[in-house]
Amino acid sequence: MTIQTHKRTCSLCEATCGIEVRHEDGQILSIKGDKDDPFSKGYICPKATALQDLHEDPDRLRLPMIRRGDEWHEVSWNEALDYTASELMRIRDQHGRDAVASYLGNPNVHNYGNLLFGPMLLKAIGSKNKFSATSVDQLPHHMASLQMLGHQLLQPVADIDRTDFLIIIGGNPLASNGSMMTVPDFRGRIKGIQARGGRVLVIDPRATETARVADEHWFIRPGQDIQLLLAVLHVWVHELSAQLPALPDYVTPADLSAICAGMTPEHAADRTGISAEAIRQLAGDWLSAESASCYGRMGVSVQQYGGLCQWLIMVLNIVSGNFDREGGLMLSHPAVDLPAILAARGSRGNFNRYQSRVRGLPEFGGELPVSVLAEEILTSGEGQVKALVTMAGNPVVSTPNSTQLVTALDSLEFMVSIDYYLNETTRHAHVILPPCGPLERDHYDLIFNSFAVRNVAKYAPALFPPDKGAKEDWQIIHGLLKRMGRGSLKTRLQGRLVLGIMGWMKPSGILNAMLKRGPYKLTLKQLKAASSGMDLGPLRPCMPERLFTRDRKLHLAPDLYLEELERVRPQLLAKNVEDLVLIGRRHVRSNNSWLHNSRRLIKGPRRDRLMIHPEDAERFGIAEGGTVEISSRVGKLVTEAEITEEVMPGVVSLPHGWGHNVDGVRLETAREAGGVNTNVLTDDARLDGLTGNAALNGVPVSVAAVSR
Ligand SMILES: Nc1nc2c(c(=O)[nH]1)N[C@H]1C(S)=C(S)[C@@H](COP(=O)(O)OP(=O)(O)OC[C@H]3O[C@@H](n4cnc5c(=O)[nH]c(N)nc54)[C@H](O)[C@@H]3O)O[C@H]1N2
Ligand SMILES: Nc1nc2c(c(=O)[nH]1)N[C@H]1C(S)=C(S)[C@@H](COP(=O)(O)OP(=O)(O)OC[C@H]3O[C@@H](n4cnc5c(=O)[nH]c(N)nc54)[C@H](O)[C@@H]3O)O[C@H]1N2
Ligand code: SF4
Ligand SMILES: [Mo]
């Protein structure tokens, strides 16, 4: 055999980098950046090579497994699918539809087969207890898009390649490679802004990797961003109103001075730790910049005021005259226009159509906040959850109050996990259904092209054929659905027909149909011919045509936000600053909880150390490298301290995704590294009051030195 080169998109994170895989005889020789990819131009991060490790990983499951007691047994696909379908139907028939819950993890959005087939499985189950990683992540973004623009997936992004002033609040793209904004080579693009004479400001309680390459970094006390955002608005309304541009006709006006009432820069300075002078400077620079865009991510979404923060960030981008224009905040025009396709079927997104059974938290987009998953399993009564389906998710490590969730999972009558690994979550399942690996399936970015800072499209066929009998995720779902038909003969026959057609079309056939209907009328054949991807041009203005609101207006200040703001105003006026709070962090050689079995990615010093400021270390008698116990309302754990001025006083930082050294986990390398699971500390009762998103950042904790 000769050496061959295969081009595709790295499916590990949101940056969608083009890669070139050299291979021979089914063996991978190298993975490099694809210089011909019009979007990533050869850029990759160290994680791309982990695709090889994932492909070759002896711990990655190849056959379905059923657990009997503590023993796992490999079984045939038929046996596993029959057993799973019959258990799910048994529980549904005995306890009702809501008794079967589901949790979809982050990799589902990187797998277009799952995106196309997953919703059918959830519909067949018919439960209101649907959960996903959205509610430990980007829920506030979807809420703002839905309430203001009329569609939960219409996500504006900073026009980073043309902006003069980029303000990053609570995001660390140099480690994460960007999120809710698809930007390969963030570092290169920041350099581009600086080379054009523009400026980048980072606002973060930690002096991050991104802060180091920015022009300026300001520390901010966790959870106090709302004060800063309101104070900027206050300066604009009361001190710089003459400079404020008129709102476009398509924007419904709002009483801005009521929104920022009382929120002076002096007031904000006292809470944020940023001086009133700096806030006035920012407000002025923002208005006088040729163009500006403000981008807020995990640090402002996954916190107490996440919903209000993401709304206010949009408000500031719009009121400053930077919405829908070059260099400001813009919308993409993807080749598959997902918002338009969904809207044509009447699906724009929903909020609060129903509530969770125990705590009454609101639904969003057909899901409930995952912070209630454990209590829905543990609280008896009508509608109690008895079975769980997890798909590409590791909630034990990713969602708040892990200890409680572990107790809950152990009490389930039945649990099935569609996953590559026997990990912290799937070890609780009765069946694991492992799909084939990411190089054994075709790929198209249905979601991330919609959040991209340039219009692009790229399709890659599978690199390797799957092992004999192996199934892709969508085939597993298809197999379950075929076994789960219920209802009258007519409904069952109709269901069979739809399944038959979708199975025959496969994800690629459905993709082809969607591409043809899209704004560029592309075909799969054209995409296949452009193996490095197609460039469809820079972002372009599209307002008000692309709005999905019924009145075709952009709603600047929906009542829901105004009501929430009034609810929290007393908290904002009081000084609610905690003594010591915990925040998260990410590392460029890691990816949430599931790439730690790659030796080359995890090598080096342990990464789950608690970052603590020297003043706090002294206050609590903690030594560099010393053992430290961290406690919160719901749990405690012990790790090593790293004393650093990288975090501000009053703030400690731990990454999530660790804690692999647990009985029953079959991940040899990850188990050796072990680490601590920070979500033992995060609290299922701490939420964004508006959306129900978890508030994983800003958790009040105490620390103590442990003598050994
Ligand atoms: N290498 C790597 N890349 C990843 C991932 C990964 O695990 N590893 N995960 C992927 C996923 S799923 C996502 S969602 C994205 C996330 O992408 P990012 O949001 O860029 O990732 P984080 O590193 O969590 O950045 C959050 C920042 O917010 C700061 N912060 C915490 N609390 C506050 C606060 O109250 N206010 C402010 N202003 N800042 C605060 C933290 O210090 C941190 O620097 O990354 C994706 N990419
Ligand atoms: N404290 C704290 N907690 C956090 C965060 C934080 O910043 N701080 N970040 C949150 C965020 S942003 C996110 S997105 C969540 C992530 O939360 P999750 O999505 O629950 O967790 P992951 O670690 O991404 O786990 C992904 C799982 O999917 C499997 N998998 C990977 N690819 C595939 C595939 O193609 N098919 C199938 N079937 N399985 C696959 C992996 O083996 C792994 O078990 O974590 C959240 N948790
Ligand atoms: S930044 Fe890294 S992990 Fe993300 S797509 Fe690019 S190569 Fe893959
Ligand atoms: Mo995420």
CA-based torsion, 698, 699, 703, 708: positive or negative: negative
Mean pLDDT of 320-346: 97
Contact 105, 395 (CB under 8 A): yes
- What does the pLDDT read at residue 369? 98
Contact 644, 580 (CB under 8 A): no
Q: What does pLDDT average to over the chain? A: 97
Nearest ligand 1 atom to alpha carbon 587: 1
Say which DSSP state 664 is in.
T
Q: Cα of 193 to ligand 1 centre, how many Å?
A: 22
Nearest ligand 2 atom to alpha carbon 421: 42
The verdict on the CB of residue 678 being under 6 Å from ligand 2 is yes
Q: Does the pLDDT value for residue 489 go beyond 90?
A: no
The verdict on the CB of residue 179 being under 6 Å from ligand 2 is no
Nearest CA to ligand 3 atom 6: 17
Nearest ligand 3 atom to alpha carbon 591: 3
Alpha helices in 558-676 (DSSP H): 559-573, 599-602, 614-619, 668-673
Annotated domain spans of the chain:
4-56, 65-136+341-486, 156-330, 576-705
Distance separating alpha carbons of residues 220 and 272, to the nearest angstrom: 5
Residue of 7, 12, 49 to test ligand 3 pocket, by largest number of atoms within 8 Å of CB: 12
- What does the pLDDT read at residue 485? 82
pTM above 0.95, yes or no: yes
Q: What is the pLDDT of residues 617-649, one digit of tens each?
A: 999 999 999 999 999 999 999 999 999 999 999
- What does the pLDDT read at residue 708? 65
The verdict on the CB of residue 421 being under 6 Å from ligand 2 is yes
Of 436, 434, 508, the C-alpha closest to 472 is 436
Q: Cα of 592 to ligand 2 centre, how many Å?
A: 6
Mean pLDDT of 21-37: 97
Nearest ligand 2 atom to alpha carbon 137: 12
Q: Cα of 553 to ligand 1 centre, how many Å?
A: 32
Nearest CA to ligand 1 atom 15: 179
Mean pLDDT of 368-379: 98
Nearest ligand 3 atom to alpha carbon 40: 6
Tell which CATH architecture fits domain 65-136+341-486.
3-Layer(aba) Sandwich (3.40)
Nearest CA to ligand 3 atom 4: 13
Nearest ligand 2 atom to alpha carbon 592: 23
Alpha helices in 239-360 (DSSP H): 256-259, 265-272, 276-288, 298-301, 306-319, 338-344
Q: Cα of 596 to ligand 1 centre, how many Å?
A: 18
Q: Cα of 588 to ligand 3 centre, how many Å?
A: 9
Lowest mean pLDDT among 197-201, 213-217, 236-240, 704-708: 704-708
Distance separating alpha carbons of residues 697 and 300, to the nearest angstrom: 9
Q: Does the pLDDT value for residue 580 go beyond 80?
A: yes
Q: What is the pLDDT of residues 645-701, one digit of tens each?
A: 999 999 999 999 999 999 999 999 999 999 999 999 999 999 999 999 999 999 999
Q: Cα of 41 to ligand 2 centre, how many Å?
A: 28
Topology of the domain covering 576-705: Barwin-like endoglucanases (2.40.40)
Q: Does the pLDDT value for residue 75 go beyond 70?
A: yes
Residue of 136, 298, 607, 669 to test ligand 2 pocket, by largest number of atoms within 8 Å of CB: 136
- What does the pLDDT read at residue 533? 98
- What does the pLDDT read at residue 707? 85
Question: H or E segment at 498?
Answer: helix 489-517
Residue of 179, 396, 398 to test ligand 2 pocket, by largest number of atoms within 8 Å of CB: 398
Contact 413, 583 (CB under 8 A): no
CA-based torsion, 34, 37, 42, 43: positive or negative: negative
Distance separating alpha carbons of residues 507 and 443, to the nearest angstrom: 9
The verdict on the CB of residue 370 being under 6 Å from ligand 2 is no
Q: Does the pLDDT value for residue 313 go beyond 90?
A: yes
Q: Does the pLDDT value for residue 328 go beyond 80?
A: yes
- What does the pLDDT read at residue 473? 98
Distance separating alpha carbons of residues 232 and 243, to the nearest angstrom: 13
Phi, psi of 59 (to 5 degrees): -80, -15
Q: What is the pLDDT of residues 374-406, one digit of tens each?
A: 999 999 999 999 999 999 999 999 999 999 999
- What does the pLDDT read at residue 576? 73
The verdict on the CB of residue 332 being under 6 Å from ligand 2 is no
Q: Does the pLDDT value for residue 532 go beyond 70?
A: yes
Q: How far is CA 534 from CA 12, 19, 177, 560, in A?
A: 20, 14, 21, 40
Q: Cα of 301 to ligand 2 centre, how many Å?
A: 17
Say which DSSP state 198 is in.
-
Of 266, 243, 267, the C-alpha closest to 319 is 243
The verdict on the CB of residue 104 being under 6 Å from ligand 2 is no
Of 424, 420, 482, the C-alpha closest to 111 is 420
Distance separating alpha carbons of residues 86 and 104, to the nearest angstrom: 21
Ligand 3 pocket residues where CB is under 6 Å: 10, 12-13, 15-17, 44-45, 47-48, 177, 184
Pairing verdict, β 454-457 and 534-538: antiparallel
Residue type at 266 in one-letter notation: E
Other beta carbons within 10 angstroms of residue 343's beta carbon come to: 17
Q: Cα of 589 to ligand 3 centre, how many Å?
A: 10
Q: Which two tokens stand for residue 374?
A: 């454990």
pLDDT above 70 coverage of the chain, percent: 100
| CATH code that applies to domain 156-330 | 3.40.228.10
Was domain 4-56 assigned CATH 3.30.360.10? Answer: no
Q: Cα of 170 to ligand 1 centre, how many Å?
A: 7
The verdict on the CB of residue 136 being under 6 Å from ligand 2 is yes
Ligand 1 pocket residues where CB is under 6 Å: 13, 106, 137, 169-173, 175-177, 179, 203-206, 208, 220, 222-223, 225, 297-300, 303, 583-588, 590-592, 697-698
- β-partners of residue 357 are none
Q: Which ligand is nearest to the CA of 39?
A: 3
Distance separating alpha carbons of residues 244 and 349, to the nearest angstrom: 32
Q: Cα of 136 to ligand 4 centre, how many Å?
A: 7
Q: Cα of 48 to ligand 3 centre, how many Å?
A: 6
Mean pLDDT of 420-445: 98
Question: H or E segment at 5?
Answer: strand 4-9
Pairing verdict, β 292-296 and 130-132: unpaired
- β-partners of residue 22 are 5, 30
Question: Where residue 86 falls among pLDDT bands split at 50, 70, 90?
Answer: very high
The verdict on the CB of residue 401 being under 6 Å from ligand 2 is no
